[in-house]
């Protein structure tokens, strides 16, 4: 028998999918951890589950209590769904720049949504800071209390990847893994997986794939937090060293232009049937760079972060793509004449 006892046990244990074109282009085996197959369709279900379980274990989250979080969307979706399964409500603060599809999903999952203007972290009205203040206020007024998930600086987030993602990758490859690459939102995925893999084999090379507009590429190559440009990708792009990133064993970093990342997303869909979001394009571009650095014959793992329908109105919208000066995949506008 293979039965999962509820949604909680359906999180994780995702397959590793060999990416054909990336592997062929590099002579390496490039594998994608299929996180879009989690119940909430993203890698963030793992962090959401660990954050909730940790808050319960500490006695901070009580039955019927409220989970409050600031999120680009995926963590909120995970928290809302896991919350429903375990008997907690969720209140989610989201920057208004995030895709309509993620906001719709949050509402239908029962989260109370607070949309705020997207402003820098230094601004007191940044979504993360608003969510912290809101959690404090609700803790005092909600009958069963409220907790702040605080995914950026709550290391229960990276613990999820230390205990699950990393060991799964090690077991699935029989320890035959030479490199791991991921982009960073909170840093939980990259840091946690890196810590778990390095503990098993310190020679495994760990790379950060950063979009433009983020400061970490500069930090890990020059020691200075500095950003240039911008990106249409969502859920990634960090400007500071979060608690989850602190001490992460990162060996190298790449900066990936959007044009390169979105072309990879389109190719994965057109040629391999994999429908994924923009951050996956950044990750696979990073995996290709690491493969070229290591040379043929190596095995590199990256993360297929979330499902592409979440970005239909942007990444798969010809008008949006044209406006951003990005390539438009032909099939989005393809039609056929039906004979009378």
The residues assigned a catalytic role are: 44
With CB atoms as reference, the residue minimizing the distance to ligand PMP is 235
**126-to-66, 96, 117, 179 alpha-carbon distances in Å:** 21, 11, 8, 35
Shortest CB 297 distance to ligand PMP, Å: 28
CB count within 10 Å of CB 222 equals 10
Q: Does 70 bind ligand PMP (CB under 6 A)?
A: no
And the tokens for 327? Answer: 């390539």
Neighbours of 119 (CB within 10 A): 14
41 binds ligand PMP (CB under 6 A): no
Residues 296-325 contacting ligand PMP, CB under 6 A: 305-306
Among 11, 29, 40, 44, binds ligand PMP (CB under 6 A): 44
The H-or-E segment that residue 15 falls in is: none
Kindly state whether residue 74 participates in binding ligand PMP, applying the rule CB under 6 A: yes
Query: Least separation, in Å, of the C-beta of 27 and ligand PMP?
Result: 27
Least distance (Å) from ligand PMP to the CB of residue 321? 18
Closest CB to ligand PMP among 166 and 187?
187
* CB 67 within 8 Å of CB 156: no
* Cα(164)–Cα(154) distance, integer angstroms: 17
Q: Which is nearer to ligand PMP, 81 or 183 (CB)?
A: 183
From 16-24, 89-97, 114-122, 182-190, span contacting ligand PMP (CB under 6 A): 182-190
DSSP 332: G
Q: Does residue 187 interact with ligand PMP by CB under 6 A?
A: yes
Q: Candidates 83, 188, 237, 286: give the one binding ligand PMP (CB under 6 A).
A: 188
Rounded least distance, CB 212 to ligand PMP, Å: 16
Task: Report the candidate in 202, 238, 195, 235 with the shortest Cα–Cα distance to residue 220.
Answer: 238
- Retrieve residue 204's tokens: 């495994």
Region binding ligand PMP by CB under 6 A among candidate stretches 11-19, 82-90, 181-189, 197-205: 181-189
Residue 311 CB, shortest distance to ligand PMP, in Å, is 9
CB of 143 to ligand PMP, least distance (A): 31
Beta bridge partners of 254: 209
Distance from C-alpha of 205 to C-alpha of 215, rounded to nearest angstrom: 21
Interacting residues with ligand PMP between 221 and 250 (CB under 6 A): 234-236
Question: How many residues sit close enough to ligand PMP to count as binding (CB under 6 A)?
Answer: 20
Q: Is 184 in the site for ligand PMP (CB under 6 A)?
A: yes
Q: Count CB atoms within 10 A of the CB of residue 115.
A: 14
Q: Which is nearer to ligand PMP, 80 or 305 (CB)?
A: 305
**With 0-12 CB in 10 A as exposed, 13-18 as middle and 19+ as buried, what is 108?**
exposed
Segment holding 112, helix H or strand E: strand 112-116
- Ramachandran category for residue 223: left, alpha or beta (phi over 0 → left; psi -120 to 50 → alpha): left
Find where tokens 């680009």 sit.
72
Q: Which is nearer to ligand PMP, 139 or 263 (CB)?
A: 263
Q: Does 72 bind ligand PMP (CB under 6 A)?
A: yes
* Whole-angstrom distance, CA of residue 53 vs CA of residue 310: 26
Binding site for ligand PMP (CB under 6 A): 42-44, 72, 74, 183-190, 234-236, 277, 279, 305-306
């Amino acid at each position: 028998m293979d039965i999962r006892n509820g949604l909680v046990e359906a999180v994780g244990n995702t397959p590793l999918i060999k990416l054909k074109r990336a592997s062929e282009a590099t002579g390496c085996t490039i594998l994608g951890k299929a996180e879009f197959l989690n119940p909430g369709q993203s890698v963030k279900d793992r962090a959401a589950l660990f954050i909730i379980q940790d808050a319960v274990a500490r006695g901070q989250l009580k039955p019927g209590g409220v989970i409050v979080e600031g999120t680009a969307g995926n963590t909120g979706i995970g928290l809302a769904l896991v919350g429903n399964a375990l008997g907690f409500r969720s209140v989610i603060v989201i920057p208004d720049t995030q895709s309509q599809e993620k906001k719709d999903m949050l509402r239908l999952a029962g989260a109370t949504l607070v949309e705020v203007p997207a402003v820098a972290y230094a601004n007191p009205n940044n979504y993360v800071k608003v969510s912290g203040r809101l959690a404090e206020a609700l803790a005092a007024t909600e009958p069963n209390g409220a907790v702040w998930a605080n995914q950026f600086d709550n290391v229960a987030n990276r613990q999820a990847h230390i205990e699950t993602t990393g060991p799964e990758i090690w077991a699935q490859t029989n320890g035959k893994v030479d490199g791991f690459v991921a982009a960073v939102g909170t840093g939980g995925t990259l840091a946690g997986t890196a810590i778990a893999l390095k503990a098993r084999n310190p020679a495994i090379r760990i790379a950060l794939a950063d979009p433009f507009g983020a400061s970490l590429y500069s930090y890990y190559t020059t020691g200075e937090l500095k950003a240039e440009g911008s990106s249409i990708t969502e859920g990634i792009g960090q400007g500071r060293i979060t608690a989850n990133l602190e001490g992460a064993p990162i060996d190298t970093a790449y900066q990936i232009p959007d044009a390169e990342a979105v072309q990879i997303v389109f190719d994965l869909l057109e040629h391999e049937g994999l429908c994924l979001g923009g951050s996956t394009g950044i990750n696979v571009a990073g995996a290709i760079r690491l493969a070229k650095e290591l040379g043929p014959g190596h095995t590199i793992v990256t993360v297929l972060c979330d499902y592409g329908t979440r970005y239909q109105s942007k990444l798969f919208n010809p008008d949006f793509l044209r406006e951003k000066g990005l390539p438009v995949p032909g099939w989005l506008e393809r039609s056929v004449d039906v004979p009378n």
